[in-house]
């Protein structure tokens, strides 16, 4: 059993149906329209509701930031990589090309939550997390993501490098974000199947992951600091990818050139 807390995370868990909720506990001291709407949503979904003291909710959630809402939930089942890459229903959000996010050792739950929130907003088709050196999908992640973590398709993989190689074989370009990379992220055409790989807080991509990437993109920095926080950097690139993917592909000029072999840095 796990605990979720906060209005948005619990509401989105009920809406998404991604996991079973055993019960939702509301603070008896709080009475307002937002809590009433959540209670109505729980009743409609057949989720049991109980009223508890605010102190009891604080003890259960181990934080006073629960906003008067705590849910007891079953552990969320995550996908395997083949499930994530399955195309039976086609790319998400009506966009032609698939766009994934892979996280190489993001251990701060606040960064992970912020990235999942952006991934949901930017129409990312799925997120790949390694089993080791990664923050778990915890209540803190759900709270930071404002409940978006309940909607994003997530796959957990044993070996990230091996997973990226599998994605290459499936025709997906692997793009690492690295301050030493080239070209700038705005110069890359995201209107293709691709996965953006973000590295660890402070240290960036692991060497083997970097070598596996087909391209290393950079965000130009005009100030004294050489890089952005990983969740901010990820948001910048994800929204540029969404902007490009919403645009039609440029018309072909002349006869099509013969296709060149796809060879990346790790090939």
**Predicted pLDDT at 250:** 60
Would you state the pLDDT for residue 223?
Answer: 84
Quick one: CATH architecture of 2-73? 2-Layer Sandwich (3.30)
Per-residue pLDDT at 265: 44
170: exposed, middle or buried (Cβ count in 10 Å: 0-12, 13-18, 19+):
middle
Full-model pTM: 0.84
196/126 Cα distance (integer angstroms)? 11
Return the pLDDT at 258: 55
Let me know: does 219 contact 228? Beta carbons within 8 Å: yes
pLDDT in tens, 221-267: 888 887 789 999 999 999 999 999 988 766 554 455 555 555 444 43
For the chain, residues classed under CATH 3.40.1280.10 are: 81-245
pLDDT recorded at residue 69: 94
- 139, 149, 204: which is closest to 177 by C-alpha? 204
Q: Which pLDDT score, from 0 to 100, does residue 58 have?
A: 95
Q: Where in the chain do CATH 3.30.1330.30 domains reside?
A: 2-73
CATH architecture of 81-245: 3-Layer(aba) Sandwich (3.40)
> Which residues of the chain register pLDDT less than 50?
88-91, 253-254, 263-267
Strands of the sheet containing 69-73, edge to edge, are 2-5, 69-73, 21-27, 49-52
Would you tell me how many other CB atoms lie within 10 Å of the CB of residue 82?
10
- In this prediction, residue 88 carries a pLDDT of 43
Tell me what pLDDT residue 89 has.
Answer: 41
């Amino acid at each position: 059993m796990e605990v979720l807390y906060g209005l948005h995370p619990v509401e989105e868990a009920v809406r998404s149906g991604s996991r079973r909720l055993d019960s939702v506990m509301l603070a008896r001291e709080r009475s307002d329209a937002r809590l009433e709407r959540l209670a109505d949503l729980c009743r409609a979904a057949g989720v049991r509701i109980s009223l508890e003291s605010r102190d009891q909710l604080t003890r259960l959630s181990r934080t006073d930031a629960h906003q008067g809402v705590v849910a007891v939930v079953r552990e969320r089942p995550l996908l395997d990589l083949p499930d994530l890459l399955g195309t039976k229903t086609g790319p998400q959000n009506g966009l032609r090309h698939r766009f994934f996010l892979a996280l190489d050792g993001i251990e701060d739950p606040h960064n992970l939550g912020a990235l999942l929130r952006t991934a949901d907003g930017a129409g990312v088709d799925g997120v790949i997390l390694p089993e080791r050196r990664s923050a778990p999908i915890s209540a803190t992640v759900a709270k930071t993501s404002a409940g978006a973590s309940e909607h994003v398709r997530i796959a957990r993989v044993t070996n990230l490098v091996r997973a990226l190689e599998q994605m290459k074989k499936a025709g997906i370009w692997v793009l690492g974000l690295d301050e030493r990379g080239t070209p700038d992220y705005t110069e890359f055409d995201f209107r293709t199947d691709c996965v953006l790989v973000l590295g660890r807080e402070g240290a960036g991509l692991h060497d083997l992951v970097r070598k596996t990437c087909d391209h290393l993109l950079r965000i130009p920095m005009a100030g004294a600091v050489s890089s952005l926080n990983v969740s901010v950097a990820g948001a910048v690139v994800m929204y540029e990818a969404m902007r490009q993917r919403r645009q039609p592909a440029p018309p072909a000029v002349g006869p099509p050139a013969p296709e060149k072999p796809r060879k990346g840095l790790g090939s």
